[in-house]
Amino acid sequence: MIPVHILIVTQYFWPESFRINDLTAALDERGHGVTVLTGMPNYPDGRFFKGYGPFSPSHEYFGRAHILRVPLISRGRSRGLRLVLNYFSYAFAASILGPLRCRGKFDVILVYGPSPVTVALPAVLMRWLKRAPLMFWVQDLWPESLAATGAVRARWILRLTAKMVAFIYHRCDRILAQSQGFIARIAAVSNDPDRIRYFPNWAETLYQPTQLDADAPEMREMPAGFRIMFAGNLGTAQSFETILAAAERLKSHREIFWVIVGDGHARNWVEQQITKRGLGGQVRLLGRRPVQQMPRYFALADALLVTLRRDPIFALTVPSKIQSYLACGRPIVAALDGEGATVIKKSKAGLTCAAEDAAGLSENILLLYRMSRAKREAMGMKGRQYYEATFERERLLNQLEGWMHELARS
């Protein structure tokens, strides 16, 4: 396809670990000109990464993609006023400095939109200044997710946020929804369903079925037994209450272990609960690991775990870890509702129960534990096959390129 010049607007970018990194690399590899307008990396720890500060460096390269960084206030402990300042400081700085630093013409502007939705505000401004069409890849629904996580309770703030979302959606030329469940909600706000496209997440190519040697260093971190592995953020949405309650129910099965690879603001609470419930022998917190190592850890799991809180908004989303789990060909055990559960059921890659159903989760884990290894492996391979048919990276990238060219021509 004919190369296009793309401006990507995202608060989060390399060396932070987000899927937009892989998309940027792919567009660069396909010969497109890519400029990334982003902030100073500080997610998830809330501290600036080594070598970065509030104001420098402002210019870098990621492959051939040109990274333009603007100052922001770091997340700190990701709570309250500090988090609000983090969100709005990026939106403000990118709106002021973006037009000065993003020189030249762009054929398409693409917003990568996990929380916060404020990331789209500078993109709306750039759309007007550059006369370039705007695509918004929605990863998270606002204000619904704010209410669901309890991050915001004041109704007037939620109403104001809803008006901001409507302002943004009405100024997008194409809205990409990471979940089928998002489409109706987005359409109700945008009032133009013809501009909406389903565009799911995929997993980076490094996520593949992997075999490890018996002396692999990751083996030394693993308990000897049946391993249930959770990977990712330890936060409110992930319902660790359900995980710990299920672990408590299975406490008498001393050969079943829970391995948590990740970190987040709920970690201290999880550690306290492990001690309080006497689960120190069963639940292992390994902390965060580099994304490049994750397929190796997944290979050592007998089942990979995904959970979400019970809330209508979470039932509409597909946690991106599901694509990574499927790609690695490992069986999945899940406690979640809606779209995420549907993917697991359709793929036949594992067992699901309702969100926050600790009893159902523990029963499914016992079913997997008592199942033959061959049957579990077959589940994992079905998941891999479903991934290749539904979320394969190159096919999705071809689709995105087609939409970009369509917008650029118009």
Helices (H), 47-102: 80-101
Q: Would the pLDDT of 396 be above 90? A: yes
CB count within 10 Å of CB 378 equals 15
Percent of the chain past pLDDT 70, that is, above it, reads: 100
- The string over 52-80, giving b where at least 16 C-beta atoms fall within 10 Å of a residue's C-beta and e elsewhere, is beeeeeeebebeebbbbbbbbbbbbebee
For the chain, how are helix, strand and coil distributed in percent, rounded to 5?
A: 45, 15, 40
- Does 154 or 232 have the greater pLDDT score? 232
CA distance 312 to 334: 17
Q: State the pLDDT confidence band at 42, using cuts at 50, 70 and 90.
A: very high
Average pLDDT, the chain: 94
User: CB of 366 within 8 A of CB of 249?
Assistant: no
Helices (H), 198-293: 240-249, 267-276
What is the per-residue pLDDT across 314-334, written as a single tens digit (0 to 9) for each? Answer: 999 999 999 999 999 999 999
CA distance 346 to 335: 16
pLDDT score recorded for residue 1: 67
pLDDT score recorded for residue 49: 94
**Average pLDDT, stretch 137-156?**
86
Distances (CA, A) of 235 to 203, 247, 334: 21, 18, 16
Torsion on CA atoms 156, 161, 164, 168, rounded to nearest 10: -160
Q: State the pLDDT confidence band at 335, using cuts at 50, 70 and 90.
A: very high
Domains of the chain: 5-202+392-409 (3.40.50.2000), 217-390 (3.40.50.2000)
Q: Would the pLDDT of 41 be above 90? A: yes
- Confidence (pTM): 0.92
Q: Would the pLDDT of 242 be above 70? A: yes
Q: Angle 210-211-217 (CA atoms, 0-180°, nearest 5)?
A: 105
Q: Would the pLDDT of 70 be above 90? A: yes
**Residues paired with residue 283 on neighbouring β-strands, in sequence order:** 258
Q: State the pLDDT confidence band at 78, using cuts at 50, 70 and 90.
A: confident
**Residues paired with residue 259 on neighbouring β-strands, in sequence order:** 229, 284
pLDDT score recorded for residue 53: 87
Q: Would the pLDDT of 80 be above 90? A: no
